[in-house]
């Protein structure tokens, strides 16, 4: 198989390989991955350096008896059938080809011979795309493009305004619902577990119509979303009971009342758990440590700050106002 002439405009460009048709794409293109696909560096038209596992949905495939087994060598995109008397060059992906040459990787997905750098809790300044304390959820949530700096400038703190008392199941449902609706964000369960379903170099919708000084409008394009599983604003129905919009009842120890202050609108709120607040702080601090030259604590904002006419999250679900939260994470970071 002969290589094409190298496209110098795509040399060393971040992007991805679509396994179905072996097409290469760069992050500047106005398209999103479909999947299954692999993220990495695109070098021209026929050279690729993988930097992720296989991502995205498996999709439908023809009956296996109509397919031919073989493999793709990822660095060169050379294609081989199992009937050939050659050994694969790593890294490679084994699977099946249809008569048109479309490729369907083996399940469960596996890249053979690829050693990925995995972040740990002590590493910083490495520009990792996946939070080491998160459970990675696949398929990925939909992203709309690459952050201008290749990393978020800050974050938007949300609450889901949904169910949370079932723990991690509610967080996974929040990811699943958001994927169907075309959103992308981190999610924090009431247990404090963090879930991630898209890489940190790509932005997805989560804040809607919004603005902030220094960021302009539609801040989803610059800030990563963090959804915290929580019912949000509640209605008092008695001294012992508060009701969510979806009619779940909350006892007083789960509720915080607040007057209007800073970003907080007056009212009753379902409180974030202690585990959620700790997880939120840890995530924000890691996002800064991971890329300190880009991530800015001054751009860690509440949804109710960037869209005050529409939104009231996090409000008093968080135990402090957003200005005080920014002060806290700055102080903690300086003391690390």
Q: Give me the long-range contacts of 30-39 (CB less than 8 A, separation at least 24).
A: 30/145, 32/142, 32/143, 32/144, 32/145, 33/140, 33/143, 35/59, 35/139, 35/140, 36/105, 36/109, 38/74, 38/93, 38/111, 39/14, 39/15, 39/129, 39/199
- Do residues 42 and 75 make contact, with C-beta atoms less than 8 angstroms apart? no
Q: Which two tokens stand for residue 254?
A: 């789960």
Residue 270: is it exposed, middle or buried by C-beta count within 10 angstroms (0-12/13-18/19+)?
buried
CA distance 225 to 176: 15
Q: Which residues pair with 44 in a beta bridge?
A: none
Q: Which two tokens stand for residue 205?
A: 């919708």
Q: How far is CA 190 from CA 118, 170, 323, in A?
A: 26, 9, 23
The residue ranges of every structural domain in the chain are 8-105, 134-334
- Do residues 54 and 33 make contact, with C-beta atoms less than 8 angstroms apart? no
CA distance 215 to 198: 22
Q: How far is CA 74 from CA 8, 28, 215, in A?
A: 19, 21, 38
DSSP H or E run through 179: helix 168-181
Q: pTM here?
A: 0.68
CA distance 138 to 128: 18
pLDDT tens track, the chain, 336 positions: 333 333 445 577 888 899 999 999 987 887 777 778 888 889 877 789 888 778 766 677 788 778 999 999 999 999 999 999 998 999 999 999 998 999 999 876 778 887 755 444 445 567 889 998 998 888 889 898 889 889 999 999 999 999 999 999 999 999 999 999 999 999 999 999 999 999 999 999 999 999 999 999 999 999 999 999 999 999 999 999 999 999 999 999 999 999 999 999 999 999 999 999 999 999 999 999 999 999 999 999 999 999 999 999 999 999 999 999 999 999 999 987
Task: Place domain 134-334 in its CATH homologous superfamily.
Answer: Peptidoglycan recognition protein-like (3.40.80.10)
Q: How many helices (H) and strands (E) does the chain have?
A: 4, 23
Task: Check the CA dihedral 218-219-221-224 and report its sign.
Answer: negative
Using alpha carbons, select from 4, 38, 3, 40 the residue that is nearest to residue 18. Answer: 38
Q: Which two tokens stand for residue 6?
A: 């190298």
Q: How many residues does the chain have?
A: 336
Adjacency order of strands within the sheet including 300-302: 134-136, 194-196, 186-188, 223-228, 154-159, 300-302
């Amino acid at each position: 198989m002969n290589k094409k002439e190298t496209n110098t405009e795509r040399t060393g460009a971040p992007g991805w390989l679509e396994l179905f048709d072996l097409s290469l794409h760069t992050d500047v293109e106005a398209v999103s991955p479909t999947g299954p696909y692999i993220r990495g560096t695109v070098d021209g038209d026929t050279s690729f350096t993988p930097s992720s596992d296989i991502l995205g949905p498996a999709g439908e495939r023809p009956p296996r008896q109509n397919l031919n087994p073989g493999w793709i060598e990822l660095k060169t995109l050379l294609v081989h059938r199992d009937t050939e008397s050659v050994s694969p060059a790593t890294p490679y992906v084994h699977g099946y080809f249809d008569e048109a040459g479309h490729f369907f990787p083996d399940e469960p997905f596996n890249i053979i011979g690829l050693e990925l750098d995995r972040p740990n809790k002590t590493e910083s300044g490495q520009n990792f795309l996946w939070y080491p304390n998160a459970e990675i959820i696949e398929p990925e949530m939909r992203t709309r493009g690459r952050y201008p700096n290749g990393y978020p400038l800050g974050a938007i703190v949300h609450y889901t305004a949904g169910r949370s008392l079932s723990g991690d199941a509610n967080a996974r449902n929040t990811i699943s619902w958001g994927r169907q609706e075309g959103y992308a964000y981190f999610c924090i369960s009431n247990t404090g577990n963090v879930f991630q379903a898209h890489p940190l170099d790509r932005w997805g919708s989560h804040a809607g119509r919004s603005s902030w000084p220094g960021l302009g409008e539609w801040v989803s394009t610059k800030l990563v979303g963090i959804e915290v599983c929580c019912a949000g604003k509640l209605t008092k129905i008695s001294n012992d009971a508060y009701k969510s919009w979806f009619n779940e009842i909350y006892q007083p120890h789960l509720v915080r009342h607040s007057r209007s202050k800073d970003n907080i609108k007056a009212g009753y709120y379902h409180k974030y758990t202690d585990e959620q607040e700790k997880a939120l702080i840890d995530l924000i601090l890691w996002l800064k440590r991971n890329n300190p030259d880009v991530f800015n604590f001054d751009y860690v904002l509440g949804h109710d700050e960037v869209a005050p006419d529409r939104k009231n999250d996090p409000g008093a679900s968080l135990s402090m106002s957003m200005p005080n939260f920014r002060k806290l994470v700055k102080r903690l970071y300086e003391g690390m």
